[in-house]
Structure 1
Amino acid sequence: MFWIDRRILTHFDFVLLVLILPLLVISNYLIADVHPILAKKQLIYYLIGFGAFVFVFLMPIREYKWLIPLIYWFNILLLISVDLFGVSKLGAKRWLAIPFTHFTIQPSEIFKPAFILMLAYVIHNNPPPKNGYGWKDFFKISFYILLPFILIAKEPDLGTATVLLIIGFGVLFLVGVNWKIWATLVLAAVLMIPISYKYLLHDYQKKRIEDFLSKKPSYHVQQSIIAIGSGGLSGKPKEEATQTKLRFLPIATSDFIFAYFVERFGFFGAVGLVLLYALLILHIFSISLKFKRDLFTQVVAASIALMLFTYMSVNIAMTIGLAPVVGVPLPLFSYGGSSFINFMILFGILEHLLAFRYRFLYNSSHN
């Protein structure tokens, strides 16, 4: 049977797991410091996430690539359903109620793997010419990027929508698009900024931008900066981490967990954590560069690397006052299940494409 073939272990990327595990251990340790019950729940999310990783890893993805458009459009229907039947929380309609239960799902979260797979599918079936994509192909692929962006931004969930936009056009930049197209788009984007701010953003989104641009940061960011500064070079013991212990630091287990980490482990700890993320992102990006002849794997790897980089950089910039507060989690580190499980699904897809690639390298009938 194919799943016990020795070549699976030969091609399996163990470095990826080695770089992920320290993030999970440190994260759960910090969450347990603040809220032990949440730490226990996070362990359940870890089990579900690794279960999803194994399940996706064993799925014959290449053999059933024809299903990817169906999965993509099913998720688009879920996003449309949010506008029609969605559940509102805190002024945003982002959730769908699961019938006959008290649970809800957030289609914008579960859409991410489908989005990346669809991007890989379209580019793999329509590879760029030597000079990069022209306008026709660019518009065709952009449709699959802009449609979910509009639907998710309308919820409103501008953070997730923007991440998808960065991933989509970032991947197009990497695989190749004619430079004249980028020049035109940059000019159009600059001209659209005032119009977008006035007519497309919601009041609370404008308030976040105003808080960011003001001389005095918002309360949340102020407390985050104080926590980071109080950590000094080497950090503080749990009992002396007063910003978190006395609950001055908001959302210390999720959005602002980086600030708590620095309060506990100081500047040296922050450098180590950023370095760990850098190694993980560069490692995945190196996979993308290695598989230039396999566009499907290249796009999946590049998308995951871009997603990790975007989430990490925005979250850290947000906690130190260099970006508006948009509720973006620190990947694999912030408390919560949906983001972690999504990443584990994506890692499972990537590991499958790597570990089972021998079936396509050595068996021409699968090429």
Structure 2
Amino acid sequence: MWKFNKRILAQFDFFSIILIIPLVLTSNWLISEAVPVLAQKQTAYIGVAVITFLFVFLLPIRRRNWLIPIIYWANIGLLFAVEFFGTTRGMGAQRWIELPFVNATIQPSEFVKPALILMLAYLIQRKPPPENGYRVKDFLIISFYILLPFILIAKEPDLGTALILLLIGYGVLFFIGVHWKIWTAIIVTILLASPLVYKFGLHNYQKVRIKDFLSEKPSYHVQQSIIAIGSGGLTGKSKEEATQTQMKFLPIATSDFIFAFLVERSGFLGALAIILVYITLILHLMSLSIYNTDYYIKVVTISISFMIFIYMGVNIAMTIGYAPVVGIPLPMFSYGGSSFLNFMILFAIMQNLITFRYKDMYDDRGTKSFI
């Protein structure tokens, strides 16, 4: 742990924290209206996330970067453990591991996200891309670290989480730099392989979701979501008049379809305000990545911005019928501890790398340290 110095806070990125606060407060307000008991649990999740944030923030990440591959492979080991010792919940998906003696379970696929992002930062920092981007050899090496967790998670099956990892991983590579010929080959391969993947690679319930999305009439869940959004108007309805939520027509109103609940209660203006907060946060993180030459900061900040964009875009599109219903939460807004904790861990890692960058990169004599 670091011996804390108040001057270090001069480097702390307070703006991202300021943007997160309205998301958390608005979410807690909506959840408390729909299911008060869940709001109490969400408050507890937030408390745990804040403590975890402080713990991770104070870790000497850069000076102990040799631990990053160990953390990555430990998470891969947990994914293998799911294959052999995992438990199932609904739809037959084997995604959880039971913890002995505490009557609880963990979902290793959630912990892989920060582990993969850190591993990408570690690999790219050790060998930055040349002027025209990574060539085939380096691209394949980094791809191995992206594809391994993707395959293990997709096999559970949890295609939504697996695809998010894939998009984040290759989004980072696209941003950092890969030779254009490699991207051309990938695009052609995807176009040719897509029909075969649909026919032989997807489970039946995944095909049903795609068919529901492509059908003229949306599924029942999406229909109720669209009704809630349409009834919100410009400024929303009062709690008593928000019948879609209060009368339980809107399914999963506190998690998957919380955006529809938000629009019903606060209308177009409330939804626009939350979307603008997300957009500001994404652009702020992208600016941190663009204007930093340190690859640890570049990779982590752009990864978080991609992750928020994907989660937000898919969730909102899902509620209005423009994407299949895949159970992706609205980031730092939907009810649930795992997703919120993951984002707080990622923000803690980012804040650590930004705040302690000069302390980590230079010792007391002003010389560079590679420890």
* TM-score interval, smaller chain: over 0.9
Tell me, in whole angstroms, the C-alpha distance in 2 between the residues paired with 1:353 and 1:7.
Answer: 15
1:319 to partner: Cα distance: 0.4
Whose helix fraction is larger, Structure 1's or Structure 2's?
1
Q: Percent identity?
A: 61
Q: Which residue of 2 aligns with 1:288?
A: 289
Report deviation, 1:56: 0.3
| 1:84 equivalenced with 2:71 (yes/no) | no
- From the superposition, tell whether residues 94 and 45 of structure 1 become closer, same or farther in structure 2 (CA, over 3 Å): same
SS at match of 1:156: coil
Residue equivalent to 2:148? 147
Partner SS, residue 96 of structure 2: strand
C-alpha displacement at 1:358, in angstroms?
2.0
Structure 2 CA distance for partners of 1:313 and 1:250, relative to 1, 3 Å: same
* Equivalent runs, 1:103-122 vs 2, <5 Å: 103-122=104-123
The one-letter code sitting in structure 1 at the alignment partner of 2:41 is K
Paired position in structure 2 for 1:344: 344
**Residue aligning to 2:10:** 10
What is aligned with 2:169? Answer: 168
| 1:365 partner SS | coil
Query: What displacement does 1:285 show?
Result: 1.2
Matched ranges for 1:1-367 at <5 A: 2-90=2-90, 91-291=92-292, 293-360=293-360, 362-363=362-363, 364-367=367-370
Deviation per CA, 1:130-157: give whole Å up to 9, x if none: 0100011000000000000000000010
CA RMSD of aligned residues (A): 1.0
CA-CA distance at 1:3 after TM superposition: 4.1
Contact 1:167 1:307 (C-alpha < 8 Å) held by counterparts: yes
TM-score by length of 1: 0.98
CA separation in 2, counterparts of 1:317 and 1:3?
46
**How far apart are residue 360 of structure 1 and its match?**
4.0
CA contact under 8 A between 2:2 and 2:60: conserved in structure 1?
no
Q: What is the distance in 2 between the residues matched to 1:110 and 1:166?
A: 17
In 2, distance between residues paired with 1:94 and 1:200?
A: 18
Residues 34 and 246 in structure 2, CA contact (< 8 A), matched pair in contact too: yes
Say if 2:2 and 2:58, in contact at 8 Å, map to a contact too: no
Following TM superposition, where does structure 1 have runs of at least 4 consecutive aligned residues deviating by more than 4 angstroms?
none
Aligned to 1:238, the other structure's residue is in SS state coil
Q: Kindly indicate whether the alpha-carbon contact (under 8 Å) linking 1:123 and 1:295 is maintained by their aligned counterparts in 2.
A: yes
Deviations 1:41-81 (A, max 9, x none): 10000000000100000000011100110110110010011
Q: Deviations over 1:318-337 (max 9, x none)?
A: 00000000000000000000
TM-score (normalizing by structure 2): 0.97
| Unpaired segments ≥5 residues, structure 1 | none
Counterparts of 1:282 and 1:119 in 2: how far apart (Å)?
Answer: 21
Shift of 1:297: 1.1
Contact 1:159 1:328 in 2 (8 A): yes
3-state SS of 1:254 partner: coil
Q: Conserved in 1, the CA contact under 8 Å of 2:87 and 2:97?
A: yes
Uncovered stretches (5+) of structure 2, i.e. residues with no partner: none
Work out the CA distance in 1 between the residues paired with 2:9 and 2:360: 16
Report the CA distance between 1:89 and its aligned residue: 0.6
Q: Using the TM superposition, name which of 2-11 and 163-172 deviates more.
A: 2-11
Residue 268 of structure 1, CA deviation: 1.1
Q: Is the 8 A contact 1:3 1:58 kept in 2?
A: no
Contact 2:135 2:178 in 1 (8 A): yes
Q: Which amino acid aligns with 1:143?
A: F
Q: State how far apart, in whole Å, the 1-side matches of 2:2 and 2:348 are.
A: 17
Offset at 1:6?
3.2
